[in-house]
């Protein structure tokens, strides 16, 4: 018994050291590296596009994740990336993708993927903060039948990974700014503000804070009113409030009805209304625009109704990753006294 306990302790220590020795995963947070043969690429692209279907309209559609396909020969170079998919559907023994999966999966697991669940999602297989997916299906029909059961769970896992990886860069150690304390002292709420952001407008009694950052051009606007005003408003009134808000507070921009969407959502665990769409400058001679997102929610701690808006102008470049970062920033708002 004592020998077994010693063995168990040594094994646990070995596993712990092994896990801690892994390096941080590589790659961009909006890329999924897909490793499969050319013969399977169409099937796998269709499947993953149905799973990761989130799209930002700005106004051109922009996916949250870009699928980057590579052949099985690149496996060693890519296996340490943060989001890796190794896939095979065609059962031809000459399929290099199938040969790769036969090498990396234990025989029993390989058989189970063929008879039961063809999709495996592993965490930290080769690196820290990594999601490693293996797709081993006997047909595209078998694979596509898993979309409904897998979609929400997979999207959550990938979103959680995005938040985890970005949090270290957005809100790393020693990044607290004096602006955070100023806002809290003036208005009794706090937000984690990344490096490089400045105050455009912050008047103590104005109930409006306007923050900005350049390269790329980004804004965050926060307003609030006393009491629970949301419960007194229907969807039409809330939509009208959101629609009028940018002209009233920013002054020189407005929302466009293209792809405008208003729905109920959760904001830090509380019920909220969320508006998403495209903004544009009112002055057509100074034409600018891009995506925006707004939240309207009631804060029980301070008995105030908050409206938060964020937007970006980054023409010709990827905007979805910045919008997801901005969402993390505004969700860091805290009204509890520290």
Which of helix, strand or coil describes residue 310? strand
**Is the pTM of the predicted complex or chain greater than 0.75?**
yes
Q: Which residues contact 333 (CB under 8 A, 6 or more apart)?
A: 189, 190, 191, 222, 268, 306, 308
User: pLDDT tens digits, residue range 106-144?
Assistant: 999 999 999 999 999 999 999 999 999 999 999 999 999
User: pLDDT tens digits, residue range 195-248?
Assistant: 889 999 998 889 999 999 998 999 999 999 999 999 999 999 999 999 999 999
Q: Tell me which CATH homologous superfamily contains domain 175-331.
A: Mog1/PsbP, alpha/beta/alpha sandwich (3.40.1000.10)
Whether 307 shows a pLDDT value over 90: the answer reads yes
User: pLDDT tens digits, residue range 79-93?
Assistant: 999 999 999 999 999
At 4 the pLDDT is 43
Whether 286 shows a pLDDT value over 50: the answer reads yes
Rounded distance between C-alpha atoms, residue 66 and residue 157, angstroms: 16
User: pLDDT tens digits, residue range 166-206?
Assistant: 887 787 655 567 899 999 999 999 999 998 899 999 988 89
Residues of the chain with CATH 3.40.1000.10: 175-331
% the chain with pLDDT above 90: 80
At 308 the pLDDT is 98
Question: Both tokens of residue 188?
Answer: 């009794």
φ/ψ region of 206 (left if φ > 0, alpha if ψ in -120 to 50, else beta) reads alpha
Q: Of the CATH numbers 3.40.1000, 1.10.260, 3.30.70, 3.40.50, which one belongs to the domain with range 19-169?
A: 3.40.50
């Amino acid at each position: 018994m004592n020998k077994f306990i010693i063995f168990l302790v040594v094994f646990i220590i070995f596993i712990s050291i092994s896990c801690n020795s892994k390096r941080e995963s590589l790659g961009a947070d909006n890329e999924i590296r897909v490793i499969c043969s050319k013969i399977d690429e169409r099937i796998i692209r269709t499947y993953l596009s149905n799973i990761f279907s989130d799209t930002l309209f700005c106004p051109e559609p922009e996916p949250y994740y870009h699928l980057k396909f590579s052949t099985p020969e690149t496996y060693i170079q890519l296996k340490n990336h943060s989001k890796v998919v190794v896939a095979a559907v065609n059962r031809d023994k000459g399929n290099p993708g199938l040969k790769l999966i036969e090498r990396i999966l234990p025989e029993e697991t390989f058989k189970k993927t063929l008879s039961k669940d063809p999709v495996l999602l592993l965490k930290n297989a080769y690196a820290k903060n990594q999601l490693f997916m293996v797709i081993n299906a006997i047909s595209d029909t078998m694979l596509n039948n898993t979309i409904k059961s897998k979609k929400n769970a997979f999207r959550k896992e990938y979103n959680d990974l995005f938040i985890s990886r970005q949090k270290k860069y957005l809100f790393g150690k020693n990044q607290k700014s004096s602006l955070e304390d100023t806002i809290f002292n003036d208005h009794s709420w706090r937000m984690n503000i990344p490096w490089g952001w400045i105050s455009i407008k912050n008047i103590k009694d104005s109930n409006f804070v306007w923050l900005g950052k350049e390269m790329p051009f980004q804004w965050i606007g926060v307003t609030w009113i006393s009491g629970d005003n949301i419960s007194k408003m229907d969807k039409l009134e809330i939509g009208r409030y959101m629609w009028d808000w940018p002209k009233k507070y920013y002054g020189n921009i407005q929302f466009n009805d293209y792809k405008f969407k208003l729905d109920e959502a959760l904001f830090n665990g509380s019920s909220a209304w969320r508006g998403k769409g495209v903004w544009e400058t009112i002055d057509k001679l100074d034409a600018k625009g891009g995506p925006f997102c707004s939240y309207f929610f009631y804060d029980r701690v301070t008995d105030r109704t908050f409206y938060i808006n964020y937007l970006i102008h980054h023409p010709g470049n990827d905007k979805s990753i910045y919008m997801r970062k901005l969402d993390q920033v505004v969700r860091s708002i805290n009204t509890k006294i520290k």
